[in-house]
Amino acid sequence: MDKRIKPLLAAAMMCAALPALAAEIVVIVNPKNPASRMFSEQAAQFFLGKSTLFTPIEHTEGPLRNEFSQKVLGKDSSQVKTQWSKLVFTGKGTAPKEYSSSAEVKKAVAADVQAIGYIEKSAVDDTVKVILTVQ
């Protein structure tokens, strides 16, 4: 095999494996929250400001937020921010608090029975309850 092709094949194989390296995302609530399971469509209602039953806790901009927005909300992060801006401007909602890490999101959810957030599955412990695994 040509020496120039081997590095290209190796790079292609690594790129093909990248989606498998993405963190598994879970939606979490406080353990005292009565919710035990939720569909993506239900979770989207809270993160898009269409329901106030739960208080959404959001990640700041980044790969986790982008993946969650696309897979659960069916929008990109900028579309979600635009939607929240409209709700805030019209007085119909308060934008979610944003945190820069899953540890901070987990801490905020653990401190509020009405809160709902999302984190990497690997960050889950007994301070929160998983109600949805994002597919």
What Å distances lie between residue 23 and 18, 26, 99, CA to CA?
A: 11, 10, 18
pLDDT at position 19 over 50:
no
Residue 132, φ and ψ in degrees, nearest 5 = -160, 135
pLDDT, tens digit, 9 for 90 and up, residues 46-74: 999 999 999 999 999 999 999 999 999 99
The domains of the chain, with CATH numbers, are: 20-133 (3.40.190.10)
- Listed in sequence order, the residues at least 6 apart from 123 whose beta carbon sits closer than 8 Å to its beta carbon are 102, 103, 106
pTM score: 0.82
pLDDT, tens digit, 9 for 90 and up, residues 102-125: 999 999 999 999 999 999 999 999
pLDDT at position 12 over 80:
no
